[in-house]
Structure 1
Amino acid sequence: MKQNNQTMPPQPTAELLRALDSGFTERRVAVGADGAQMAYRCGGGRGPLVVLLHGISSGAASWLPCASLLAADARVIAWDAPGYGNSQALPGAAPTAADYAQRLQALLHALDLRPDVIVGHSLGALMAAAYIAQAGPAQLPARLLLLSPAQGYGGPGKEGKAQEVARQRLDALAALGVEGLAERGPGRLLSAAASADAQAWVRWNMRRLDPDGYRQAVAMLCGDAIDDYLGRRAPGVSVWAGCGALDVVTPPPGCAALAERFGLPFELIPDAGHACYVEQARSVARWIRSGLAGYAI
């Protein structure tokens, strides 16, 4: 009988999972007129409110290492976007970033919270940009941080690229399933020097993807674009951009070009790939903390 010599990839440490349950607990709330269920995680106890939005291949729990570092200075909320985790999906197969932003408004309204800083990573940056383009004054943050922002493929002249990206992502999901996507995820989302713990955390979070929620997010990525929202952003909201220096998903030149188009301060996160808030949690937490300047922390 042939022996199976394959070894299981490293799993998140028991200590990390205990911290997730004890210090970054999941809560659920019904939001909006239709009572849609939204799941989110909370950390910290007092201070300014930081809202964290994950990207297309992740979820609220992925922010744990970074959120834990912020907890001493701020209250932290990370949502599971619609169609992720225990958050109810949006209606329709092809929602826009504005639809996700409207659900975020409903969540914060249900919790009676006004964010001081919103951090959007990757596809979450597109959602966050839509949020500051349409939220009312009582729900606007003072600052938005775009971290390795996905810019979307819905702009003029990008129809071919949008179709190609959608096909590649949906074909990969069909061929590999969520488990297969999770196994190859660290190689794409982290730098070659990423620790085994960072790789395990990326896999653990990707294994929790919902295929239908992922398909909706792919449709949004390929059908919408960040420039329109940033062009309509509310006055008075300060916007910064940052990117992992080793990011191959949203590479630094593209992020820097976005920052230049809109006159945004731009920061490189050293020694980090796309999931920079996992790989270099301390550097990203330091950057977010600098965005809290002026608040009593």
Structure 2
Amino acid sequence: MDAKRLQLDGAVQCYLERSHGASGKAPTLVLLHGISSGAGSWAKLAEQLPGYRLLAWDAPGYGDSQPLAGEAPTAADYAARLETWLAALGIERCVLVGHSLGAMMASAYLAAHPGRLAGVVLADPAQGYGDAEAAKRDEVYRSRWTQLEAQGHAAYARARAPRLLREGADTTDIARVEAEMQKLHVAGFAQAGWMLANDTLARYLPATPEVPTLVVCGDEDRITPPEDAHALAVRLGAPYGGIPRAGHASYIDAPEAFARALDDFSRSLLGAADASETP
């Protein structure tokens, strides 16, 4: 995937792109990473989806993407940047894939801009703590970025990365997760932590979504448990897919199964060829 950047209304937005065929003509999947990750985490999955144009952003405050203006952003604030970015790229129709905290961003985007979306995938979805007691919200807010600041990137990544994957995960996958964590910026991490602690997915998707929606989750997810993801799917009236032998970062643990679920959902919505076809 090629690293790119855009200047958007005074804000720098960075992303990775992998095109298939004529640029802009292939069916497009837009990939939103989770709170402890970055655009590069999708590289292994990208190998399984040769028939699609893939756009993976570094969320505001991640990589070289400029942070959001306020210290206390909502998912809607991230969705506003997402809309500016997609509009600048001329994306008229896509399937939006939000992993973990990215699922909250995807939900906020769907609520505000359904017309640009053919479908939405909520993967291992974080649902937010905005309805929790103040003490719990403060605990969630301070649970990650303060550790990163105190421990340093290397120690934090070593301690945290294995938890995002299944038990007995491949060492190369653990290293991949660690590498993305070592790119984190404390300020951007803190903004994302605030959003997780003080917003909720349900605020944006209180009922059946306006566009086709799929919920998937790793069967061994220890962070956003499968039973919570399944309950979300039931509430939304959306199909649910379990990803076998996968933890929270299910698209890294089991990229073939994740890609198959994504392709099965997206192909008819975007008019795509089977993802197993080579370019």
Task: Give me the TM-score of the superposition, normalised by structure 1.
Answer: 0.86
Counterpart-to-counterpart distance in 2, 1:215 and 1:254: 25
Checking the alignment, whether the CA contact within 8 Å between 2:162 and 2:169 is kept in structure 1 is no
Match of 1:129 in 2: 107
Q: Quick one: distance in 1 between partners of 2:207 and 2:90?
A: 25
1:186 aligns with 2:186: no
1:269 aligned partner: 243
Query: What one-letter code is carried by the residue in structure 1 that aligns with 2:222?
Result: V
Pairing 1:51–2:30 present? yes
Q: Select which of 215, 238, 242 maps to 1:241.
A: 215
Unpaired runs of 5+ residues, structure 1, are 1-23
Deviation at residue 282 of structure 1 after TM alignment: 1.0
Distance in 2, matches of 1:59 and 1:104, equals 15
Deviation at 1:106, TM superposition (A): 0.3
Q: Tell me if structure 2 keeps the 8 A contact 1:133–1:233.
A: no
Over the aligned positions, Cα root-mean-square deviation in angstroms equals 1.5
User: CA separation in 2, counterparts of 1:136 and 1:240?
Assistant: 15
Residues 264 and 232 from structure 1, CA distance in 2 versus in 1: closer, same or farther, beyond 3 angstroms?
closer
Aligned to 2:190: 215
Shift of 1:63: 0.2
Residue in structure 2 matched with residue 226 of structure 1 by the alignment: 201
Q: Which amino acid aligns with 1:208?
A: K
SS in 2 for 1:284: helix
Distance 1:143 1:280 in 2: 22
Alignment-derived partner of residue 277 in structure 2: none
Pairwise CA distance, 1:263: 1.2
| Structure-1 separation of matches of 2:212 and 2:133 | 28
Opposite residue 11 of structure 2, the aligned amino acid is: A
Q: Does 1:60 align with 2:52?
A: no
1:145 corresponds in structure 2 to 121
Aligned pair partner of 2:136 in 157, 161, 164: 161
Q: Distance in 2 between matches of 1:146 and 1:292?
A: 13
- Distance in 2, matches of 1:126 and 1:274, equals 15
Q: In the alignment, what sits opposite 2:64?
A: 86
What letter corresponds to residue 193 of structure 1 in structure 2? G
Aligned partners of 2:249, 2:72: CA distance in 1, in Å? 25
Check whether the contact 2:67–2:188 (CA below 8 A) recurs between aligned residues.
yes
**How far apart, CA to CA, are the structure 1 residues paired with 2:58 and 2:112?**
20
Matched, 1:74 2:49: no
**Partners in 2 of 1:221 and 1:183 — Cα distance?**
23
**Maintained 8 Å contact 1:123/1:221:** yes
Give the Cα–Cα distance (whole angstroms) in 2 for the partners of residues 124 and 206 of structure 1. 16
SS of alignment partner, residue 124 of structure 1: helix
Q: 1:265 to 1:119 in 2, by over 3 A?
A: same
* Structure 1 counterpart of 2:124, one-letter code: S
Q: Note the residue ranges of structure 2 that are not aligned, 5 or more in a row.
A: 274-279
What does residue 252 of structure 2 align with?
Answer: 278
How do residues 10-49 of structure 1 correspond to structure 2 at under 5 angstroms?
Answer: 24-31=1-8, 34-46=9-21, 47-49=26-28
- CA offsets 1:84-137 (integer angstroms, 9 cap, x no match): 001000001110000000000000111111242110000000000000100162
Aligned identity (percent) is 43
How big is each residue's C-alpha offset from its partner over 1:192-225, in whole Å with a ceiling of 9 and x where there is no partner? 1210110110011110011110000000000100
Partner of 1:17: none
- In 2, the alpha carbon distance for the partners of 1:203 and 1:136 equals 34
Compare CA radii of gyration and give the structure with the larger one.
1
**Which amino acid counterpart does residue 148 of structure 1 have in structure 2?**
D
What's the TM-score once normalised by structure 2's chain length? 0.92
CA distance 1:233–1:158, change in 2 (3 Å) = farther
2:152 maps to what in 1?
A: 177
Q: 3-state SS of the aligned residue for 2:143?
A: helix
Q: Is the 8 A contact 1:117 1:291 kept in 2?
A: no
Query: Against the structure 1 CA distance between its residues 234 and 192, is the aligned structure 2 distance closer, same or farther, given a 3 Å change threshold?
Result: closer
What is the rounded CA distance, in whole Å, between the counterparts of 1:162 and 1:95 in structure 2?
Answer: 14
SS in 1 for 2:238: coil
The CA deviation string for residues 249-279 of structure 1, in whole angstroms up to 9 with x for no partner, is 1011111111111111111100001011111
Structure 2 CA distance, aligned partners of 1:40 and 1:217? Answer: 18
For 1:117 and 1:243, the matched residues in 2 are separated by: 17
Figure out how many residues of one structure are paired with residues of the other and give that number. 267
